[in-house]
């Protein structure tokens, strides 16, 4: 029991200390980076094993809040040249590449739900007819690797506008053909580099990279970029996510 508590205490301080990489976050945190300081800041008494875990959750929530406050919707992630593209681009998922879902393009319909005025489903020809833009940006994985790729699609804010999404809501959520699900904050959804992507490297998005579409956000870590999207919804009710519900930070900024 003592060893488990020590490991959790180290995890608490490691996550909180990670916020200090950004000077703005350092100013937000001040001098609370001790277990006593974090206990005071979160309002949870550090007096038993369970409260250690509660502080760990509270630090994660604090991390989300701090990232949300600092996020600048007008700041752009770096872009790159074609010479910088990583080939082959790495495959990454919670399953092997041969298990990537096969979606029938003819019968596919993108479902819309929640706070959206026009919830009629979209087929692929209609989606492909939307104004197309491309970006060459870096995908950053929480596991420590990164790779540069070229993605094409419609600016997501333009899609949300077309369907009458209520952009005063807090969250946009995604359900995927592989069982994955996640959600993002509305400011990131409206960021000019957030794409509903249908192509990779100038070609139709292959199954291993997320056919029929993925959300590409260079301002977010890789696990926040859902693939094989089959439903998009807008809500004020916190939707969580596949990895987020297991303890990953929800905001997930890169």
Residue-by-residue pLDDT tens, the chain, 254 positions: 444 545 655 554 555 555 444 444 444 444 444 445 545 444 445 454 445 456 556 666 656 766 767 778 889 999 999 999 999 999 999 999 999 999 999 999 999 999 999 999 999 999 999 999 999 999 999 999 999 999 999 999 999 999 999 999 999 999 999 999 999 999 999 999 999 999 999 999 999 999 999 999 999 999 999 999 999 999 999 999 999 988 888 999 98
Kindly report the CATH number assigned to the domain that includes residue 238.
Answer: 3.90.420.10
Residues 29 and 117 placed together within one structural domain of the fold = no
Identify whether residues 22 and 43 lie together within a single domain.
yes
Domain identity same for 120 and 22? no
Instruction: Please indicate, yes or no, whether residues 113 and 181 belong to a single structural domain of this protein.
Output: yes
Q: Is 77 domain-assigned?
A: no
Contact 54, 45 (CB under 8 A): no
108/11 same-domain check? no
Q: Are both 59 and 168 inside the same structural domain?
A: no
pLDDT of residue 115: 98
Q: How many domains does the structure of the chain reveal?
A: 2
Q: What is the pLDDT of residue 55?
A: 53
Total residue length of the chain: 254
Whether residues 44 and 151 share a domain: the answer is: no
Q: CB–CB of 63/19 below 8 Å? A: yes
Final residue before a domain boundary, out of 48, 70, 92 = 70
Six-digit token string for 55: 């502080």
**Could you tell me if residue 64 is inside a domain?**
yes
Q: Is residue 254 part of a domain?
A: no
Question: Given 70, 96, 112, which residue is the final one in a domain?
Answer: 70
Question: 47 with 119, same domain?
Answer: no
Domain-embedded: residue 241: yes
- Has residue 63 been placed in a domain? yes
Question: Does one domain contain both 200 and 223?
Answer: yes
The answer to whether position 251 is within a domain reads no
State whether 122 and 190 are in the same domain: yes
Range of the domain at 35: 2-70
Beta bridge partners of 56: none
Task: With H, G, I as helix, E, B as strand and everything else as coil, classify residue 45.
Answer: coil
91 and 199 part of one domain: yes
Of 250, 238, 240, 248, nearest in space to 170 by CA: 238
Q: Are residue 86 and residue 110 in the same domain, yes or no? A: yes
Q: How far apart are CA 250 and CA 142, in angstroms?
A: 12
Residue 253 lies in a domain: no
**55 domain-assigned:** yes
**Which of these three, 70, 103, 118, is where a domain ends?**
70
pTM greater than 0.85? no
């Amino acid at each position: 029991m003592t060893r488990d508590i020590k490991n959790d205490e180290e995890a608490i301080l490691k996550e909180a200390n990670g916020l200090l990489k950004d000077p703005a976050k350092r100013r937000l945190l001040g001098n609370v980076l001790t277990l006593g300081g974090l206990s005071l800041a979160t309002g949870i008494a550090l007096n038993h094993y369970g409260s250690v875990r509660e502080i760990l959750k509270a630090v994660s929530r604090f991390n989300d809040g701090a990232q949300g406050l600092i996020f600048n919707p007008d700041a752009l992630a770096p872009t790159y040249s074609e010479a910088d593209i990583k080939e082959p681009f790495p495959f990454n998922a919670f399953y092997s590449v041969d298990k990537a879902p096969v979606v029938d393009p003819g019968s596919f319909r993108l479902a819309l739900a929640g706070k959206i005025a026009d919830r009629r489903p979209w087929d692929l020809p209609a989606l492909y007819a939307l104004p197309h833009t491309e970006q060459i940006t870096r995908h950053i994985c929480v596991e420590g690797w990164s790779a540069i790729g070229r993605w094409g699609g419609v600016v997501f804010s333009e899609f949300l506008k077309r369907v009458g999404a209520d952009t005063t809501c807090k969250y946009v959520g995604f359900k995927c053909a592989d069982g994955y699900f996640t959600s993002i904050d509305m400011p990131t959804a409206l960021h000019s580099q957030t794409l509903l992507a249908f192509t990779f490297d100038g070609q139709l998005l292959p199954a291993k990279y997320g056919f029929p579409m993925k959300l590409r956000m260079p301002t977010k870590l890789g696990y926040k970029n859902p693939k094989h999207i089959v439903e998009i919804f807008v809500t004020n009710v916190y939707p969580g996510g596949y990895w987020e519900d297991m303890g990953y930070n929800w905001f997930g900024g890169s």
